[in-house]
Amino acid sequence: MPDTINRQFRLKRRPNGRVTAADFDFVEASVPTPGPGEVLVRVLYISMEPIYRLWMTDTDHDLPPVKIGDVVRGVGLGRVVASNAEGWNPGDLAGGMFGWQDYAVVPPPGIARLSRIREHGSVPLTTMLGACGSTGFCAYFGLLDIGKPKQGETVVVSAAAGAVGSVAGQIAKLKGCRVVGIAGGAAKCRLLTDELGFDAAVDYKRSDWREALAAATPNGIDVNFENVGGEIMGAVIDRMNHGGRVVLCGLITGYNDGERREGHLQALGNFIPIFTHRLTVQGFVFTDFAPRFGEAVSQLSQWVAAGQIKPRETVVDGLEHTPEALNRLFAGNNIGKLLVKVSEP
Ligand SMILES: NC(=O)c1ccc[n+]([C@@H]2O[C@H](COP(=O)([O-])OP(=O)(O)OC[C@H]3O[C@@H](n4cnc5c(N)ncnc54)[C@H](OP(=O)(O)O)[C@@H]3O)[C@@H](O)[C@H]2O)c1
């Protein structure tokens, strides 16, 4: 008996600080019918991404704000259940902007075929949203194309035990760099050094983290893969070598006070080393590299299948828990890629 109900989170108001249940309407709509040229997708997993919080503000952040009353925007992985689009069949795996809901109707230009990735062998479904999906693309292109790490250089990654950071650090190791991760708490730091191959880890929750960063980077820092901003970014920039590259991937410290932007301003306040040390600071969004996604999928899947990149994932069970799941990213209650499981694959 097919489902008839499509549970959806609709944005009720613009959140202030971390999201709460009162910021959303959790409604039951009918499962939509695909129109001509469209497919109906059953959402299996939602990829939890810090930028969702910025999309809930009234300012453009790469994409326009989510409108009040609209289904909350979100990247997902799903299975086609009905199709009016040529080349798409029930059972196909698809990735796309499916939103915080059980079912999505989308036109094929808005979805990517994912079945092919599984042909790389042992890559699990969840990893297709993580290390072998947009998270991995972000780490791969950000580090290699913007960071341009050379063998023997020192790379520092912030939010290093998270989704993007854990992959970026492991790629930097594969390129022969000294890799230092910054993360919150002893357990995350142990994960980095003992399991993921980082050379050193700095626990920014300890009062002596600046000294620890200095001790871990005796030759200075050549590449900063920046996910956090704020004081952490400032301390890293202060230790960068001449000609260093700052890969500005994200500034999560400022996302919950996006209206005031204090986190952003604090993060970027220390400009002096940027000119005295001839640093290059480049922001990017992984979609800038869309024409090369095939290359990234192929390389990342090979690394994962060969055990050279160890994907880490945290899965929250149940669409109804999506708002709390978003907050876990800001509380640091995730290791590696955070996903919400919406239905059984
Ligand atoms: N440019 C792009 O295309 C792109 C694409 C995806 C993601 N991103 C960015 O990449 C960054 C990481 O995203 P992700 O999806 O991989 O998330 P994630 O790293 O898996 O989760 C976020 C992590 O950030 C840390 N964190 C949160 N608030 C913090 C704060 N105030 N100070 C220090 N650390 C904090 C937490 O780890 P701790 O426990 O260590 O604090 C948390 O686990 C974000 O800035 C995101 O916006 C950019």
Print the SS3 string covering the chain: CCCCEEEEEEECCCCCCCCCHHHEEEEEEECCCCCCCCEEEEEEEEECCCHHHHHCCCCCECECCCCCCCECCCEEEEEEEEECCCCCCCCCEEEEECCCECEEEECHHHEEECHHHHCCCCCCHHHHCCCCCHHHHHHHHHHHHHHCCCCCCEEEEECCCEHHHHHHHHHHHHCCCEEEEEECCHHHHHHHHHHCCCCEEEECCCCCHHHHHHHHCCCCEEEEEECCCHHHHHHHHHCEEEEEEEEECCCHHHHHHCCCCHHHHHHCCCCHHHHHCCCEEEECCHHHHHHHHHHHHHHHHHHHHCCCCCCCEEEEECHHHHHHHHHHHHHCCCCEEEEEECCCC
330 pocket-lining for ligand 1 (C-beta < 6 Å): yes
Q: Which of 329, 333, 334, 335 has most ligand 1 atoms within 8 Å of CB, for mutation?
A: 329
User: Cα–Cα distance between 296 and 168 in angstroms, integer?
Assistant: 13
- Separation of alpha carbons 320 and 288, rounded Å: 32
Q: Say which amino acid occupies 97.
A: M
Q: Is the CB of 249 under 6 A from ligand 1?
A: yes
Ligand 1 near 170 CB (within 6 A): no
From the CA of 336, give the closest atom in ligand 1: 20
Closest CA to 149 of 171, 129, 131, 123: 171
Q: Whose CA is nearest to atom 32 of ligand 1?
A: 253
pTM of the model: 0.95
pLDDT by position in tens, the chain (length 345): 678 899 999 999 999 999 999 999 999 999 999 999 999 999 999 999 999 999 999 988 889 999 999 999 999 999 999 999 988 999 988 899 999 999 999 987 777 766 554 545 668 889 999 999 999 999 999 999 999 999 999 999 999 999 999 999 999 999 999 999 999 999 999 999 999 999 999 999 999 999 999 999 999 999 999 999 988 999 999 999 999 999 999 999 888 875 455 555 565 557 788 989 999 999 999 999 999 998 999 999 999 999 999 999 999 999 999 999 999 999 999 999 999 999 998
Mutate which of 227, 268, 281, 286 for ligand 1? The one with the most ligand atoms within 8 Å of its CB, which is 227
Ligand 1 atom nearest 48 alpha carbon:
15
> Is the minimum distance from the CB of 78 to ligand 1 under 6 angstroms?
no
Burial label for 62, CB within 10 Å (0-12, 13-18, 19+), is: exposed
For residue 252, give the ligand 1 atom closest to its CA: 45
The closest-lying atom of ligand 1 relative to the alpha carbon of residue 286 is 3
- Residue entry with tokens 């809901």: 101
**How many whole angstroms from 33 Cα to the centroid of ligand 1?**
36
Q: Which residues contact 197 (CB under 8 A, 6 or more apart)?
A: 170, 173, 179
The residue type of 345 is: P
Distance from the CA of 181 to the center of ligand 1, in angstroms?
13
CA of 227 to the centre of ligand 1 (A): 5
CA of 329 to the centre of ligand 1 (A): 7
- Neighbouring residues of 111: CB distance < 8 A, sequence distance ≥ 6: 39, 41, 94, 95, 96
Is 31:40 a contact under the CB 8 Å cutoff? yes
